[in-house]
Structure 1
Amino acid sequence: MSKYNRNFDLTLGDIDLIEAALNVVKRDLSLGREGSRALLPEVEGDDHIRDIDDLLGRLHNQKVFFRPSKEPYVGG
């Protein structure tokens, strides 16, 4: 029986490409274009948009954004 690969060698460009592709598929599903539904695996509940939003959120939360270290950070 095969197992999942738990080690990934992805670059930042790869992650950006994955995010862009997910956004395109999400847009197509929102507009009712059924061609993109054929690209997706079968899931229980058939709520692909929610699954894509969840995955995009997890990808976003793993990013480390620039914050200056030599001076106090003022957000906003």
Structure 2
Amino acid sequence: MANLSVANLRKDIAVADYEKTIQTTFRDVSDALDATDTLRREALAQESADLVFQRKSEVIQRRASYRNVLIPPRYCW
């Protein structure tokens, strides 16, 4: 009877350890998926910011070129 109780106790401990391992694994996977989603959103935000910067740079370059047409260099006078 004592051997059976010890065996059942060991089984219960093993099952509890296994369940804890499964819960930890699911939590780790969930954390990894959350991190991946966060990185994806950050990358999209950075791409958007890069596009805005590129468009602003293009507008500034066009304005500078147009200004050079409107205001000729001083040596032409």
Higher helix share: 2
The alignment's TM-score, normalised by the length of structure 1, stands at 0.29
Higher RCO structure (Cα 8 Å, ≥6 apart):
1
The alignment's TM-score, normalised by the length of structure 2, stands at 0.29
Q: Which has the larger radius of gyration?
A: 2
